[in-house]
Structure 1
Amino acid sequence: MWQLPSGALVARRGLCTLAQPCLRRPQHARGFRFFDATLLLVVSGRMTLDNGEVVLALQDPLTLTAMAQNACADVEKIPGGGDQTFRSVFLAFAPEVILEFHRHHENDMPPSSAVAHGCQMALDSDLADTLDHCLRGMYSAQLSEREQMHRLVGLLLALAERGCRFSRPSSQRISDRLKNLLADAPADPWTTAKAGRELAMSEATLRRRLAAENVRFETLLLDIRMHHAMTLLQTTGWGVQQIAEACGYRASSRFSLRFRERFGCSPSQVR
Protein backbone atom coordinates (compact mmCIF):
# COMPACT_ATOMS: atom_id res chain seq x y z
CA MET A 1 0.00 0.00 0.00
CA TRP A 2 1.10 3.58 -0.72
CA GLN A 3 3.78 2.62 -3.20
CA LEU A 4 3.55 5.85 -5.18
CA PRO A 5 5.11 6.23 -8.64
CA SER A 6 8.17 8.04 -7.33
CA GLY A 7 9.82 8.96 -4.09
CA ALA A 8 10.85 12.33 -5.50
CA LEU A 9 9.71 15.57 -3.91
CA VAL A 10 6.81 17.14 -5.80
CA ALA A 11 6.08 20.85 -5.40
CA ARG A 12 3.12 22.38 -7.24
CA ARG A 13 3.02 26.13 -6.74
CA GLY A 14 -0.37 27.22 -5.45
CA LEU A 15 -1.42 23.59 -4.95
CA CYS A 16 0.66 21.38 -2.68
CA THR A 17 3.96 19.85 -1.70
CA LEU A 18 4.22 16.06 -1.62
CA ALA A 19 7.17 14.29 -0.01
CA GLN A 20 7.90 10.68 0.93
CA PRO A 21 10.58 10.72 3.65
CA CYS A 22 12.67 7.57 3.95
CA LEU A 23 15.08 7.09 6.88
CA ARG A 24 17.20 4.19 8.08
CA ARG A 25 18.20 5.60 11.45
CA PRO A 26 16.20 7.22 14.28
CA GLN A 27 15.76 10.97 14.01
CA HIS A 28 14.79 13.62 16.54
CA ALA A 29 14.15 17.16 15.33
CA ARG A 30 13.39 20.00 17.74
CA GLY A 31 10.63 22.49 16.97
CA PHE A 32 9.61 21.33 13.50
CA ARG A 33 7.10 23.76 12.02
CA PHE A 34 4.31 22.89 9.62
CA PHE A 35 4.20 26.03 7.50
CA ASP A 36 1.05 24.84 5.70
CA ALA A 37 -1.90 22.63 6.61
CA THR A 38 -0.50 19.12 6.27
CA LEU A 39 -1.53 15.46 6.14
CA LEU A 40 0.80 12.76 7.48
CA LEU A 41 0.66 9.03 6.95
CA VAL A 42 3.28 6.70 8.42
CA VAL A 43 3.78 3.68 6.16
CA SER A 44 6.63 1.99 8.04
CA GLY A 45 8.08 2.67 11.49
CA ARG A 46 6.60 5.18 13.91
CA MET A 47 6.57 8.89 14.61
CA THR A 48 5.69 11.04 17.61
CA LEU A 49 4.79 14.73 17.55
CA ASP A 50 5.11 16.53 20.89
CA ASN A 51 4.22 20.21 21.25
CA GLY A 52 4.64 20.24 25.03
CA GLU A 53 0.91 19.84 25.65
CA VAL A 54 -0.24 17.11 23.28
CA VAL A 55 1.65 14.04 22.06
CA LEU A 56 0.46 12.43 18.84
CA ALA A 57 1.63 8.89 18.06
CA LEU A 58 1.74 7.86 14.40
CA GLN A 59 2.49 4.17 13.94
CA ASP A 60 -0.40 2.74 11.95
CA PRO A 61 -0.79 2.99 8.15
CA LEU A 62 -4.55 2.99 8.71
CA THR A 63 -4.45 6.26 10.65
CA LEU A 64 -4.25 9.67 8.99
CA THR A 65 -2.95 12.70 10.90
CA ALA A 66 -3.77 16.32 10.04
CA MET A 67 -1.57 19.17 11.27
CA ALA A 68 -2.76 22.78 11.35
CA GLN A 69 -0.92 25.55 9.54
CA ASN A 70 1.97 26.83 11.71
CA ALA A 71 1.68 23.95 14.19
CA CYS A 72 5.04 23.30 15.82
CA ALA A 73 6.26 20.13 17.54
CA ASP A 74 9.32 18.11 18.44
CA VAL A 75 9.39 15.20 15.99
CA GLU A 76 10.78 11.73 16.58
CA LYS A 77 10.96 9.15 13.77
CA ILE A 78 11.87 5.52 14.45
CA PRO A 79 12.50 2.99 11.65
CA GLY A 80 10.54 -0.26 11.71
CA GLY A 81 9.02 -2.99 9.59
CA GLY A 82 10.82 -5.84 7.89
CA ASP A 83 13.37 -3.59 6.19
CA GLN A 84 13.88 -1.41 9.29
CA THR A 85 13.11 1.88 7.56
CA PHE A 86 10.93 4.83 8.38
CA ARG A 87 8.68 5.77 5.48
CA SER A 88 5.85 8.25 5.40
CA VAL A 89 3.71 10.41 3.15
CA PHE A 90 3.79 14.19 3.75
CA LEU A 91 1.19 16.28 1.88
CA ALA A 92 1.13 20.03 2.53
CA PHE A 93 -1.77 22.06 1.10
CA ALA A 94 -1.05 25.50 -0.33
CA PRO A 95 -3.23 28.26 1.20
CA GLU A 96 -4.92 28.71 -2.20
CA VAL A 97 -6.34 25.18 -1.95
CA ILE A 98 -7.71 25.74 1.55
CA LEU A 99 -9.30 29.01 0.40
CA GLU A 100 -10.85 27.27 -2.61
CA PHE A 101 -12.35 24.65 -0.30
CA HIS A 102 -13.83 27.30 2.00
CA ARG A 103 -15.27 29.26 -0.93
CA HIS A 104 -17.19 26.25 -2.20
CA HIS A 105 -17.99 24.21 0.90
CA GLU A 106 -17.85 26.39 4.01
CA ASN A 107 -21.62 26.77 4.28
CA ASP A 108 -22.64 23.18 3.55
CA MET A 109 -20.36 21.51 6.08
CA PRO A 110 -21.63 20.25 9.45
CA PRO A 111 -20.45 22.50 12.29
CA SER A 112 -17.07 21.44 13.64
CA SER A 113 -14.05 23.11 15.19
CA ALA A 114 -11.10 23.72 12.92
CA VAL A 115 -7.92 21.76 13.60
CA ALA A 116 -6.11 23.73 16.33
CA HIS A 117 -2.89 21.70 16.39
CA GLY A 118 -3.32 18.16 15.12
CA CYS A 119 -6.05 15.56 14.80
CA GLN A 120 -6.16 11.91 13.82
CA MET A 121 -8.76 9.82 12.03
CA ALA A 122 -9.18 6.30 10.73
CA LEU A 123 -8.16 5.86 7.11
CA ASP A 124 -11.27 4.02 5.96
CA SER A 125 -11.45 2.54 2.47
CA ASP A 126 -13.31 5.50 0.92
CA LEU A 127 -10.88 8.03 2.38
CA ALA A 128 -7.93 5.88 1.33
CA ASP A 129 -9.22 5.79 -2.26
CA THR A 130 -9.67 9.57 -2.27
CA LEU A 131 -6.17 10.12 -0.90
CA ASP A 132 -4.60 7.68 -3.35
CA HIS A 133 -6.42 9.28 -6.30
CA CYS A 134 -5.16 12.69 -5.20
CA LEU A 135 -1.55 11.64 -4.61
CA ARG A 136 -1.18 9.77 -7.88
CA GLY A 137 -2.45 12.82 -9.75
CA MET A 138 0.48 14.83 -8.42
CA TYR A 139 2.85 12.65 -10.46
CA SER A 140 0.88 12.89 -13.70
CA ALA A 141 2.25 15.26 -16.33
CA GLN A 142 -1.07 15.03 -18.18
CA LEU A 143 -3.18 16.28 -15.28
CA SER A 144 -4.06 19.97 -15.51
CA GLU A 145 -3.67 22.39 -12.62
CA ARG A 146 -7.45 22.73 -12.52
CA GLU A 147 -7.91 18.97 -12.15
CA GLN A 148 -5.22 18.81 -9.47
CA MET A 149 -7.02 21.56 -7.55
CA HIS A 150 -10.29 19.65 -7.93
CA ARG A 151 -8.74 16.50 -6.46
CA LEU A 152 -7.14 18.34 -3.54
CA VAL A 153 -10.40 20.12 -2.68
CA GLY A 154 -12.17 16.76 -2.91
CA LEU A 155 -9.73 15.35 -0.37
CA LEU A 156 -10.36 18.30 1.95
CA LEU A 157 -14.10 17.68 1.59
CA ALA A 158 -13.64 14.04 2.57
CA LEU A 159 -11.66 15.13 5.64
CA ALA A 160 -14.29 17.71 6.63
CA GLU A 161 -17.05 15.11 6.39
CA ARG A 162 -15.10 13.16 9.00
CA GLY A 163 -14.85 16.14 11.35
CA CYS A 164 -11.40 17.36 10.30
CA ARG A 165 -11.45 20.88 8.85
CA PHE A 166 -8.55 23.29 8.36
CA SER A 167 -8.97 26.98 9.22
CA ARG A 168 -9.38 29.53 6.45
CA PRO A 169 -5.93 31.07 5.86
CA SER A 170 -5.53 34.76 6.51
CA SER A 171 -4.92 36.83 3.38
CA GLN A 172 -3.93 39.87 5.42
CA ARG A 173 -0.82 38.63 7.24
CA ILE A 174 2.30 39.94 5.56
CA SER A 175 4.35 37.16 7.16
CA ASP A 176 2.29 34.56 5.27
CA ARG A 177 2.83 36.37 1.97
CA LEU A 178 6.54 36.65 2.74
CA LYS A 179 6.71 32.97 3.67
CA ASN A 180 5.24 31.98 0.31
CA LEU A 181 7.69 34.25 -1.51
CA LEU A 182 10.77 32.92 0.28
CA ALA A 183 9.67 29.28 0.10
CA ASP A 184 9.39 29.49 -3.69
CA ALA A 185 13.12 30.29 -3.96
CA PRO A 186 15.00 29.46 -0.73
CA ALA A 187 18.38 29.52 -2.52
CA ASP A 188 18.04 33.15 -3.62
CA PRO A 189 20.15 35.82 -1.84
CA TRP A 190 17.19 37.36 -0.05
CA THR A 191 17.28 40.73 1.70
CA THR A 192 14.44 42.78 3.13
CA ALA A 193 14.93 45.27 0.31
CA LYS A 194 14.58 42.56 -2.36
CA ALA A 195 11.58 40.97 -0.63
CA GLY A 196 9.97 44.39 -0.24
CA ARG A 197 10.26 45.03 -3.97
CA GLU A 198 8.67 41.66 -4.73
CA LEU A 199 5.81 42.49 -2.34
CA ALA A 200 5.42 46.02 -3.74
CA MET A 201 6.40 47.88 -0.59
CA SER A 202 9.44 49.60 0.86
CA GLU A 203 11.95 47.83 3.08
CA ALA A 204 10.88 50.00 6.02
CA THR A 205 7.20 49.17 5.48
CA LEU A 206 7.95 45.46 5.29
CA ARG A 207 9.93 45.50 8.53
CA ARG A 208 7.26 47.56 10.27
CA ARG A 209 4.45 45.22 9.22
CA LEU A 210 6.48 42.15 10.21
CA ALA A 211 7.22 43.70 13.61
CA ALA A 212 3.48 44.20 14.13
CA GLU A 213 3.10 40.43 13.72
CA ASN A 214 6.13 39.70 15.96
CA VAL A 215 8.07 38.25 13.04
CA ARG A 216 11.70 38.95 12.09
CA PHE A 217 12.70 38.66 8.45
CA GLU A 218 15.99 36.92 9.24
CA THR A 219 14.35 34.37 11.54
CA LEU A 220 11.66 33.49 9.00
CA LEU A 221 14.20 33.15 6.18
CA LEU A 222 16.39 30.85 8.30
CA ASP A 223 13.38 28.75 9.30
CA ILE A 224 12.25 28.30 5.71
CA ARG A 225 15.73 27.36 4.53
CA MET A 226 16.30 24.86 7.33
CA HIS A 227 12.93 23.18 6.81
CA HIS A 228 13.65 22.96 3.09
CA ALA A 229 16.97 21.33 3.97
CA MET A 230 15.23 18.83 6.25
CA THR A 231 12.91 17.85 3.41
CA LEU A 232 15.78 17.44 0.93
CA LEU A 233 17.78 15.34 3.38
CA GLN A 234 14.87 12.93 3.77
CA THR A 235 13.74 12.73 0.16
CA THR A 236 16.89 12.98 -2.00
CA GLY A 237 20.33 11.42 -2.22
CA TRP A 238 22.00 14.83 -2.51
CA GLY A 239 25.21 15.52 -0.65
CA VAL A 240 25.33 18.09 2.14
CA GLN A 241 27.12 20.65 -0.05
CA GLN A 242 24.43 20.42 -2.73
CA ILE A 243 21.67 20.77 -0.15
CA ALA A 244 23.47 23.73 1.44
CA GLU A 245 23.59 25.49 -1.93
CA ALA A 246 19.90 24.72 -2.54
CA CYS A 247 19.19 26.53 0.73
CA GLY A 248 21.27 29.63 0.02
CA TYR A 249 24.58 28.64 1.66
CA ARG A 250 27.94 28.51 -0.12
CA ALA A 251 29.76 26.93 2.84
CA SER A 252 28.48 23.55 4.01
CA SER A 253 30.09 24.08 7.43
CA ARG A 254 28.03 27.21 8.09
CA PHE A 255 24.92 25.46 6.81
CA SER A 256 25.52 22.46 9.09
CA LEU A 257 25.98 24.75 12.09
CA ARG A 258 22.70 26.55 11.42
CA PHE A 259 20.92 23.23 10.91
CA ARG A 260 22.16 21.86 14.23
CA GLU A 261 21.21 25.07 16.04
CA ARG A 262 17.71 24.91 14.57
CA PHE A 263 16.83 21.22 14.97
CA GLY A 264 19.30 19.92 17.56
CA CYS A 265 20.89 17.42 15.17
CA SER A 266 23.41 17.57 12.34
CA PRO A 267 22.44 16.98 8.69
CA SER A 268 24.37 13.69 8.71
CA GLN A 269 22.24 12.42 11.62
CA VAL A 270 19.02 12.83 9.66
CA ARG A 271 19.71 10.01 7.22
Structure 2
Amino acid sequence: MQSIRSCGGLVLQISDNFSAFQQRDIVRRDGAGTAACIIQSARLLCKRLASPAPGVVFVQKGQKIILDQGVDMKACAGDLVLIPEGATSDIINEPDGAGGYQALALQFAPDLIANLAVAEAKPVQEIKVLNGMPPAFEEAYGKAIEAIRSGPLLPDSIAASRVNEILLWLGALGHRFAPIANPGPIERLRRIINSDPAYSWRAPELAKTIGMSEASLRRKLAAAGTSFSELLADIRMTTALTLLQTTEKSVTQIALDVGYDSASRFTARFRARFDFAPSEIRGHQREVDRNGAKTDRNSAALVPAE
Protein backbone atom coordinates (compact mmCIF):
# COMPACT_ATOMS: atom_id res chain seq x y z
CA MET A 1 0.00 0.00 0.00
CA GLN A 2 1.09 3.58 -0.60
CA SER A 3 -0.17 6.77 1.03
CA ILE A 4 -1.36 9.61 -1.21
CA ARG A 5 -2.79 12.88 0.01
CA SER A 6 -6.22 13.52 -1.47
CA CYS A 7 -7.73 16.83 -2.61
CA GLY A 8 -9.34 17.34 0.77
CA GLY A 9 -6.09 16.83 2.65
CA LEU A 10 -6.92 13.32 3.87
CA VAL A 11 -4.34 10.60 3.45
CA LEU A 12 -5.69 7.78 1.28
CA GLN A 13 -4.27 4.29 1.21
CA ILE A 14 -3.98 3.40 -2.48
CA SER A 15 -3.44 -0.30 -3.19
CA ASP A 16 -0.49 -1.76 -5.05
CA ASN A 17 -2.68 -3.03 -7.91
CA PHE A 18 -1.04 -0.44 -10.17
CA SER A 19 2.57 -0.82 -9.01
CA ALA A 20 3.56 -2.22 -12.44
CA PHE A 21 2.34 0.93 -14.21
CA GLN A 22 4.85 3.60 -13.28
CA GLN A 23 6.01 4.89 -16.65
CA ARG A 24 4.42 6.39 -19.74
CA ASP A 25 2.85 3.70 -21.86
CA ILE A 26 -0.02 3.24 -24.32
CA VAL A 27 -1.20 -0.08 -25.78
CA ARG A 28 -4.17 -0.93 -27.99
CA ARG A 29 -5.65 -4.42 -28.19
CA ASP A 30 -8.32 -5.28 -30.76
CA GLY A 31 -11.56 -6.43 -29.20
CA ALA A 32 -10.61 -5.12 -25.75
CA GLY A 33 -9.58 -1.47 -25.90
CA THR A 34 -6.70 0.90 -25.26
CA ALA A 35 -4.79 1.27 -21.99
CA ALA A 36 -2.51 4.18 -21.18
CA CYS A 37 -0.41 5.42 -18.29
CA ILE A 38 -0.54 9.22 -18.33
CA ILE A 39 2.28 11.12 -16.63
CA GLN A 40 2.51 14.90 -16.58
CA SER A 41 4.91 17.00 -14.54
CA ALA A 42 3.66 20.55 -15.13
CA ARG A 43 0.29 22.13 -14.38
CA LEU A 44 -1.07 23.04 -17.80
CA LEU A 45 -4.50 24.06 -19.05
CA CYS A 46 -5.58 22.06 -22.11
CA LYS A 47 -8.58 23.69 -23.73
CA ARG A 48 -11.35 22.11 -25.80
CA LEU A 49 -10.25 18.48 -25.55
CA ALA A 50 -12.66 16.15 -27.35
CA SER A 51 -12.76 12.48 -26.40
CA PRO A 52 -12.41 10.18 -29.45
CA ALA A 53 -13.98 7.19 -27.67
CA PRO A 54 -15.81 6.30 -24.45
CA GLY A 55 -13.41 5.69 -21.60
CA VAL A 56 -12.43 6.16 -17.99
CA VAL A 57 -9.46 7.69 -16.19
CA PHE A 58 -8.36 6.43 -12.77
CA VAL A 59 -6.33 9.12 -11.01
CA GLN A 60 -3.29 7.80 -9.13
CA LYS A 61 -1.38 10.96 -8.21
CA GLY A 62 -2.32 14.62 -8.23
CA GLN A 63 -5.74 15.65 -9.44
CA LYS A 64 -7.67 16.16 -12.65
CA ILE A 65 -9.71 19.35 -12.87
CA ILE A 66 -12.47 19.41 -15.49
CA LEU A 67 -13.90 22.77 -16.53
CA ASP A 68 -17.12 21.99 -18.39
CA GLN A 69 -19.53 24.79 -19.35
CA GLY A 70 -18.99 26.70 -16.14
CA VAL A 71 -19.12 23.60 -13.92
CA ASP A 72 -15.87 22.62 -12.22
CA MET A 73 -15.23 18.98 -11.30
CA LYS A 74 -12.23 17.62 -9.45
CA ALA A 75 -10.93 14.05 -9.43
CA CYS A 76 -8.34 13.19 -6.80
CA ALA A 77 -6.19 10.11 -6.24
CA GLY A 78 -8.54 7.13 -6.01
CA ASP A 79 -11.31 8.76 -8.08
CA LEU A 80 -12.58 7.64 -11.49
CA VAL A 81 -13.53 9.97 -14.35
CA LEU A 82 -16.14 8.77 -16.86
CA ILE A 83 -15.79 10.34 -20.32
CA PRO A 84 -18.31 9.62 -23.11
CA GLU A 85 -17.36 9.77 -26.77
CA GLY A 86 -17.34 13.31 -28.11
CA ALA A 87 -17.34 15.00 -24.70
CA THR A 88 -15.44 18.29 -24.95
CA SER A 89 -14.05 20.19 -21.97
CA ASP A 90 -11.07 22.12 -20.64
CA ILE A 91 -8.74 19.97 -18.53
CA ILE A 92 -6.03 20.71 -15.97
CA ASN A 93 -3.89 17.78 -14.81
CA GLU A 94 -2.47 19.10 -11.55
CA PRO A 95 0.66 17.44 -10.12
CA ASP A 96 0.92 16.70 -6.43
CA GLY A 97 3.75 18.08 -4.33
CA ALA A 98 6.37 15.52 -5.34
CA GLY A 99 5.24 12.83 -7.75
CA GLY A 100 3.60 14.81 -10.54
CA TYR A 101 0.26 13.86 -12.08
CA GLN A 102 -0.32 10.22 -12.96
CA ALA A 103 -3.40 8.33 -14.11
CA LEU A 104 -4.38 5.10 -15.84
CA ALA A 105 -6.75 5.57 -18.76
CA LEU A 106 -8.89 2.91 -20.39
CA GLN A 107 -10.85 3.25 -23.63
CA PHE A 108 -13.28 0.49 -24.50
CA ALA A 109 -13.54 -1.44 -27.76
CA PRO A 110 -16.79 -0.55 -29.60
CA ASP A 111 -18.09 -4.14 -29.53
CA LEU A 112 -17.86 -4.26 -25.73
CA ILE A 113 -19.97 -1.11 -25.48
CA ALA A 114 -22.50 -2.35 -28.04
CA ASN A 115 -22.95 -5.78 -26.46
CA LEU A 116 -23.16 -4.71 -22.82
CA ALA A 117 -26.43 -5.72 -21.15
CA VAL A 118 -26.96 -3.29 -18.25
CA ALA A 119 -30.03 -1.48 -19.54
CA GLU A 120 -31.11 -0.42 -16.04
CA ALA A 121 -28.04 1.83 -15.69
CA LYS A 122 -28.20 5.42 -16.91
CA PRO A 123 -26.24 6.31 -20.07
CA VAL A 124 -23.18 8.48 -19.47
CA GLN A 125 -23.93 11.58 -21.54
CA GLU A 126 -21.47 13.98 -19.93
CA ILE A 127 -18.24 13.77 -17.95
CA LYS A 128 -18.75 12.40 -14.43
CA VAL A 129 -16.47 11.87 -11.44
CA LEU A 130 -16.96 8.86 -9.17
CA ASN A 131 -15.25 9.43 -5.84
CA GLY A 132 -13.30 6.87 -3.83
CA MET A 133 -13.54 3.68 -5.87
CA PRO A 134 -13.54 0.50 -3.71
CA PRO A 135 -10.45 -1.76 -3.50
CA ALA A 136 -12.21 -4.54 -5.42
CA PHE A 137 -12.71 -2.17 -8.34
CA GLU A 138 -9.05 -1.12 -8.20
CA GLU A 139 -8.04 -4.77 -8.43
CA ALA A 140 -10.32 -5.37 -11.42
CA TYR A 141 -9.05 -2.19 -13.09
CA GLY A 142 -5.43 -3.23 -12.69
CA LYS A 143 -6.22 -6.62 -14.23
CA ALA A 144 -8.02 -4.98 -17.17
CA ILE A 145 -5.06 -2.70 -17.89
CA GLU A 146 -2.64 -5.61 -17.63
CA ALA A 147 -4.85 -7.75 -19.90
CA ILE A 148 -4.53 -5.20 -22.69
CA ARG A 149 -0.77 -4.94 -22.18
CA SER A 150 -0.15 -8.69 -21.93
CA GLY A 151 -0.21 -9.42 -25.66
CA PRO A 152 -0.12 -13.14 -26.61
CA LEU A 153 0.40 -14.17 -22.99
CA LEU A 154 -3.37 -13.87 -22.51
CA PRO A 155 -6.07 -15.13 -24.93
CA ASP A 156 -8.09 -12.39 -26.62
CA SER A 157 -11.33 -13.64 -25.09
CA ILE A 158 -9.92 -13.41 -21.56
CA ALA A 159 -8.52 -9.92 -22.20
CA ALA A 160 -11.90 -8.74 -23.49
CA SER A 161 -13.63 -10.33 -20.50
CA ARG A 162 -11.42 -8.47 -18.02
CA VAL A 163 -12.04 -5.14 -19.72
CA ASN A 164 -15.75 -5.94 -19.88
CA GLU A 165 -15.69 -6.44 -16.10
CA ILE A 166 -15.00 -2.71 -15.74
CA LEU A 167 -18.14 -1.95 -17.75
CA LEU A 168 -20.08 -4.33 -15.50
CA TRP A 169 -18.69 -2.54 -12.45
CA LEU A 170 -19.89 0.77 -13.85
CA GLY A 171 -23.29 -0.77 -14.54
CA ALA A 172 -23.51 -1.97 -10.94
CA LEU A 173 -22.80 1.62 -9.88
CA GLY A 174 -25.60 2.88 -12.13
CA HIS A 175 -23.63 4.05 -15.17
CA ARG A 176 -23.18 2.73 -18.70
CA PHE A 177 -21.66 3.96 -21.92
CA ALA A 178 -24.02 3.83 -24.89
CA PRO A 179 -23.04 3.90 -28.57
CA ILE A 180 -23.98 7.07 -30.44
CA ALA A 181 -27.14 5.86 -32.19
CA ASN A 182 -26.91 7.99 -35.31
CA PRO A 183 -23.52 9.68 -35.53
CA GLY A 184 -23.60 12.81 -37.65
CA PRO A 185 -21.14 13.59 -40.44
CA ILE A 186 -18.71 15.43 -38.16
CA GLU A 187 -18.64 12.56 -35.65
CA ARG A 188 -18.04 10.11 -38.50
CA LEU A 189 -15.33 12.37 -39.89
CA ARG A 190 -13.61 12.48 -36.49
CA ARG A 191 -13.65 8.70 -36.20
CA ILE A 192 -12.06 8.23 -39.61
CA ILE A 193 -9.31 10.81 -39.03
CA ASN A 194 -8.64 9.47 -35.53
CA SER A 195 -8.01 6.04 -37.03
CA ASP A 196 -4.88 7.38 -38.78
CA PRO A 197 -3.99 11.00 -37.95
CA ALA A 198 -0.76 10.88 -39.97
CA TYR A 199 -2.53 10.12 -43.24
CA SER A 200 -2.81 12.93 -45.79
CA TRP A 201 -6.58 13.23 -45.55
CA ARG A 202 -8.41 15.29 -48.16
CA ALA A 203 -11.91 16.69 -47.93
CA PRO A 204 -13.15 15.25 -51.27
CA GLU A 205 -12.26 11.64 -50.41
CA LEU A 206 -13.68 11.86 -46.89
CA ALA A 207 -16.88 13.47 -48.13
CA LYS A 208 -17.31 10.57 -50.54
CA THR A 209 -16.58 8.05 -47.75
CA ILE A 210 -19.38 9.39 -45.56
CA GLY A 211 -21.79 9.79 -48.48
CA MET A 212 -21.81 13.56 -48.91
CA SER A 213 -20.69 16.05 -51.49
CA GLU A 214 -17.63 18.08 -50.57
CA ALA A 215 -19.70 21.26 -50.61
CA SER A 216 -22.25 19.78 -48.19
CA LEU A 217 -19.50 18.61 -45.86
CA ARG A 218 -17.86 22.03 -45.81
CA ARG A 219 -21.22 23.66 -45.06
CA LYS A 220 -21.75 21.27 -42.13
CA LEU A 221 -18.32 22.10 -40.76
CA ALA A 222 -18.88 25.84 -41.18
CA ALA A 223 -22.20 25.58 -39.34
CA ALA A 224 -20.29 23.92 -36.47
CA GLY A 225 -17.82 26.81 -36.40
CA THR A 226 -14.88 24.99 -37.93
CA SER A 227 -13.38 23.92 -41.25
CA PHE A 228 -11.87 20.74 -42.63
CA SER A 229 -8.29 21.94 -42.15
CA GLU A 230 -9.03 23.14 -38.60
CA LEU A 231 -10.68 19.85 -37.65
CA LEU A 232 -7.80 17.83 -39.09
CA ALA A 233 -5.21 19.94 -37.27
CA ASP A 234 -7.15 19.78 -34.00
CA ILE A 235 -7.37 15.98 -34.08
CA ARG A 236 -3.66 15.75 -34.88
CA MET A 237 -2.71 18.09 -32.03
CA THR A 238 -4.94 16.27 -29.54
CA THR A 239 -3.36 12.97 -30.60
CA ALA A 240 0.08 14.52 -30.18
CA LEU A 241 -0.86 15.67 -26.67
CA THR A 242 -1.82 12.10 -25.78
CA LEU A 243 1.46 10.75 -27.15
CA LEU A 244 3.44 13.30 -25.14
CA GLN A 245 1.61 12.20 -21.99
CA THR A 246 1.75 8.45 -22.60
CA THR A 247 5.01 7.71 -24.46
CA GLU A 248 8.70 8.61 -24.30
CA LYS A 249 8.84 9.29 -28.03
CA SER A 250 10.77 12.35 -29.14
CA VAL A 251 8.94 15.43 -30.35
CA THR A 252 10.33 14.73 -33.83
CA GLN A 253 8.85 11.22 -33.86
CA ILE A 254 5.50 12.42 -32.52
CA ALA A 255 5.42 15.06 -35.24
CA LEU A 256 5.81 12.29 -37.83
CA ASP A 257 3.16 10.18 -36.09
CA VAL A 258 0.57 12.92 -36.58
CA GLY A 259 1.49 13.86 -40.14
CA TYR A 260 4.18 16.56 -39.84
CA ASP A 261 7.54 16.15 -41.59
CA SER A 262 8.92 19.24 -39.84
CA ALA A 263 9.31 19.19 -36.05
CA SER A 264 9.53 22.99 -35.95
CA ARG A 265 6.30 23.37 -37.92
CA PHE A 266 4.63 20.82 -35.65
CA THR A 267 5.84 22.64 -32.52
CA ALA A 268 4.52 25.96 -33.83
CA ARG A 269 1.13 24.40 -34.58
CA PHE A 270 1.03 22.68 -31.17
CA ARG A 271 1.87 25.93 -29.37
CA ALA A 272 -0.79 27.78 -31.35
CA ARG A 273 -3.37 25.15 -30.35
CA PHE A 274 -2.54 24.77 -26.64
CA ASP A 275 -0.52 27.89 -25.79
CA PHE A 276 2.43 25.89 -24.48
CA ALA A 277 5.30 23.98 -26.07
CA PRO A 278 5.29 20.17 -26.42
CA SER A 279 8.28 19.90 -24.06
CA GLU A 280 6.30 21.46 -21.20
CA ILE A 281 4.11 18.35 -20.89
CA ARG A 282 7.12 16.42 -19.63
CA GLY A 283 8.03 18.77 -16.86
CA HIS A 284 9.70 21.98 -17.94
CA GLN A 285 9.02 25.66 -18.24
CA ARG A 286 5.77 27.11 -16.97
CA GLU A 287 2.55 26.28 -15.22
CA VAL A 288 -0.86 27.93 -15.60
CA ASP A 289 -3.68 28.98 -13.37
CA ARG A 290 -7.26 28.03 -14.23
CA ASN A 291 -7.66 31.14 -16.42
CA GLY A 292 -4.63 30.35 -18.56
CA ALA A 293 -2.16 32.80 -17.00
CA LYS A 294 1.34 31.34 -16.90
CA THR A 295 3.84 31.32 -14.08
CA ASP A 296 7.45 30.21 -13.91
CA ARG A 297 7.67 27.08 -11.74
CA ASN A 298 10.53 28.64 -9.77
CA SER A 299 8.87 32.00 -9.26
CA ALA A 300 5.66 33.30 -7.77
CA ALA A 301 5.33 35.99 -10.44
CA LEU A 302 2.72 35.44 -13.12
CA VAL A 303 3.88 35.44 -16.72
CA PRO A 304 1.30 36.86 -19.16
CA ALA A 305 -0.04 34.33 -21.65
CA GLU A 306 1.70 34.62 -25.01
Alignment TM-score > 0.5, same fold: yes
Q: Which amino acid aligns with 1:75?
A: I
TM alignment of 1:201-240, pairs within 5 A: 203-204=214-215, 206-207=217-218, 216-240=227-251
User: What are the equivalent positions in structure 2 for 1:136-147 lying under 5 Å apart?
Assistant: 136-142=146-152, 143-147=154-158
Q: Give 2:20's aligned residue.
A: 4
Shift of 1:88: 0.9
1:146-161 equivalences under 5 Å are 146-161=157-172
* Map of 2:303 onto structure 1: none
Q: Is the alpha carbon distance of 1:93 and 1:113 closer, same or farther for their aligned partners in structure 2, counting shifts above 3 Å?
A: closer
- Which ranges of structure 2 fall in alignment gaps of 5 or more residues? 1-15, 283-306
Paired residue total = 264
Q: 1:58 to 1:91 in 2, by over 3 A?
A: same
Q: Any unmatched runs of 5+ in structure 1?
A: none
Asked if structure 2 preserves the Cα contact closer than 8 Å seen for 1:20 and 1:90, the reply is yes
Asked if residue 51 in structure 1 is aligned to residue 68 in structure 2, the reply is yes
Cα distance change on mapping 1:44 and 1:114 into 2, 3 Å: closer
Q: Which residue of 2 aligns with 1:181?
A: 192
Aligned ranges for residues 51-70 of structure 1 at < 5 Å? 51-60=68-77, 62-70=78-86
| Partner of residue 98, structure 1 | 113
**Aligned 8 A contact 2:34 2:106 in 1:** yes
Separation (CA, whole Å) in 2 of partners of 1:14 and 1:210: 32
Distance 1:68 1:125, change over 3 A: same
2:99 matches 1:84:
yes
1:21 aligns with 2:41: no
> Judging changes above 3 Å, is the alpha-carbon distance between structure 1 residues 117 and 254 closer, same or farther for their aligned structure 2 residues?
same
Instruction: Provide closer, same or farther for how the CA distance between residues 115 and 197 of structure 1 changes in structure 2, counting only shifts above 3 A.
Output: closer
AA partner of residue 146 (structure 2): R
Which TM-score applies when normalising by structure 1?
A: 0.84
Deviation per residue, 1:96-125 (Å, 9 max, x gap): 332222xx332xx25x35342323243112
Q: 2:175 is matched with which residue?
A: 164
CA contact (8 A) 2:189 2:206 kept: yes
Q: Partner letter of residue 153 of structure 1?
A: N
Q: 1:267 maps to what in 2?
A: 278
Structure with more contact order per residue of length (Cα contacts < 8 Å, sep ≥ 6)? 1
Q: Is the counterpart of residue 127 in structure 1 residue 143 in structure 2?
A: no
CA 1:257 to 1:115, structure 2 compared with 1: closer, same or farther past 3 Å? same
Answer yes or no: is the 8 Å Cα contact 2:140–2:166 preserved in 1: yes
Q: Which amino acid aligns with 1:91?
A: L
Distance 1:227 1:256 in 2: 13
Contact 1:40 / 1:64 at 8 angstroms: preserved in 2? Answer: yes
- Give the partner amino acid of 1:46: Q
Q: Secondary structure at the match of 1:99?
A: helix
Counterpart check, 1:252 vs 2:263? yes
Query: Radius of gyration: which is bigger?
Result: 2
Residues 34 and 148, structure 2, Cα contact 8 Å, conserved in 1: no
Q: Is the 2:81–2:127 Cα contact (8 Å) retained in structure 1?
A: no
Counterpart of 1:38?
55
Residue deviations 1:65-95 (CA, integer Å, cap 9, x gap): 21222222222222225x5322111112244
CA distance in 2, matches of 1:56, 1:239: 32
Identity of aligned residues (%): 28
Residue 219 of structure 1, CA deviation: 2.9
What root-mean-square deviation, in Å, do the aligned CA atoms of Structure 1 and Structure 2 show? 2.6
Whole-Å separation in 2 of the counterparts to 1:24 and 1:237: 13
Tell me the distance in 2 between the aligned counterparts of 1:212 and 1:154. Answer: 40
Structure with more of its chain in strand, by fraction: 2
